[in-house]
């Protein structure tokens, strides 16, 4: 299949490009080399033998040229992470939502009927919770006053009791709680509207905490695994927010690339028009403190420092079920947590 990979020179995109090429697909890469993901002034010429076309998805002419002859798009391009502050808001909306809109309009013009969209677990906001008295509930955003005194667990909105975290399914309520999260959900809505109105098919892959070789390092947009590794390389303890008890699902980038290949294969089969979402997770959640401790041990570095600090917009627990991806895409993560971090401890990162 002739596939356009947007953002195909980035962290996840480069692994996806390699996986698709290895599987025999004819791949074109379009990437603007955004400075949040690439060293300013860098000029990536190729990925896995695929030439990189430098262009901005907000540029209709660049999109039209890249879509010529394409049968599917794997849309990885995005500005990721929590960002620095609200001054980043226009960049997030421009890079994520406006760019996606221009891409989808181009796909309609060129009648490209298949889309795999890189989405994120951040669309859920807080994960699933239950109250001993009131059953399943969705907590309100945590109060800054509670966080300041170390009350990190969400409370029941009805009785204020501590809640028991559970597992999120794809059909649970979506409740983005950061600028980045809002833009990722908007991408899903745009893709869903495009698919319905054009009679096309789309899959949204809601990535959980992706880590692995070629992660960007030393930027405000880096993932937590890269931030911790950079600290350990300097001989410093990883600094863990809150009490370290936040639960996440850390999934290796090669598994994420395999999920994209599985999704593209599923789109090649008979599917009804529209968008369907899938959690892309390992199914083996850990706390952030566990991740930091495991990485520190792998690098023979100092144990993590639990700071008690916090960031507005962070959520406490996000753990999701990967069952739908297993049942419908035939995808299951293969890289175990400990083995993946042992490799990541000394894997190359991008500046």
pLDDT single digits (tens) 214-249: 998 877 667 899 999 999 999 999 999 999 999 999
pLDDT recorded at residue 19? 97
Decide: helix, strand or coil at residue 127: coil
What's the distance, CA 319 to chain centroid? 14
Decide: helix, strand or coil at residue 341: helix
pLDDT recorded at residue 37? 67
Give the pair of three-digit tokens for residue 110: 């060129």
Alpha-helix runs per DSSP H in 235-351? 253-267, 288-298, 323-324, 337-344
pLDDT recorded at residue 85? 76
Q: Which residues of the chain have pLDDT under 50?
A: none
Alpha-helix runs per DSSP H in 171-313? 179-198, 224-233, 253-267, 288-298
d(CA 260, CA 253): 11
d(CA 102, CA 100): 5
Hey, which residues are catalytic here?
180
Q: Which residues pair with 165 in a beta bridge?
A: 129
d(CA 199, CA 165): 38
pLDDT recorded at residue 131? 95
Residue 103 · residue 115 · CB < 8 Å = no
d(CA 75, CA 302): 39
pLDDT recorded at residue 47? 87
pLDDT recorded at residue 10? 92
DSSP for 98-124 reads IHHHHHHHHHHHHT--EEEEEEEGGGG
Question: Left, alpha or beta for 35 (phi > 0: left; psi -120 to 50: alpha)?
Answer: alpha
């Amino acid at each position: 299949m002739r596939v356009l990979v947007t953002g195909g020179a980035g962290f996840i995109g480069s692994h996806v490009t390699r996986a698709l090429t290895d599987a025999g697909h004819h791949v074109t890469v379009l990437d603007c080399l955004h400075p949040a993901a690439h060293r300013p002034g860098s000029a990536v010429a190729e990925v896995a033998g695929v030439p990189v076309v430098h262009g901005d998805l907000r540029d209709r002419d660049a999109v039209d040229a890249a879509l010529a002859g394409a049968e599917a798009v794997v849309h990885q391009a995005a500005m990721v992470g929590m960002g620095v502050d609200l001054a980043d808001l226009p960049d997030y909306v421009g890079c994520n939502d406006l760019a996606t809109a221009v891409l989808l309009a181009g796909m309609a013009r060129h009648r490209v009927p298949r889309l795999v969209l890189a989405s994120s677990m951040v669309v859920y906001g807080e994960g699933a919770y239950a109250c001993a008295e009131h059953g399943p509930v969705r907590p309100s955003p945590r109060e800054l006053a509670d966080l300041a005194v170390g009350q990190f667990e969400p409370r029941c909105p009805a009785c204020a009791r501590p809640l028991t975290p559970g597992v999120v399914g794809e059909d649970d309520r979506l409740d983005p709680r950061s600028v980045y999260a809002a833009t990722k959900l908007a991408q899903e809505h745009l893709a869903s509207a495009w698919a319905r109105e054009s009679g096309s098919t789309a899959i949204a892959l809601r990535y959980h905490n992706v880590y692995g070789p070629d992660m960007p390092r030393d930027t405000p947009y880096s993932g937590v695994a890269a931030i911790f590794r950079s600290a350990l390389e300097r001989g410093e303890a990883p600094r863990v927010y809150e009490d370290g008890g936040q639960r996440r699902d850390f999934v290796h980038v090669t598994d994420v690339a395999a999920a994209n290949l599985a999704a593209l294969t599923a789109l090649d089969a008979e599917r009804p028009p529209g968008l369907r979402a899938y959690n892309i997770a390992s199914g083996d959640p850990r706390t952030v403190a566990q991740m930091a401790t495991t990485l520190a041990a792998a690098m023979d570095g100092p144990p993590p420092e639990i700071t008690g600090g916090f960031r507005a917009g962070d959520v406490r627990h996000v753990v999701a079920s990967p069952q739908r991806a297993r049942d419908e895409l035939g995808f299951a993560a293969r890289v175990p947590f400990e083995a993946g971090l042992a490799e990541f401890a000394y894997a190359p990162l991008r500046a």
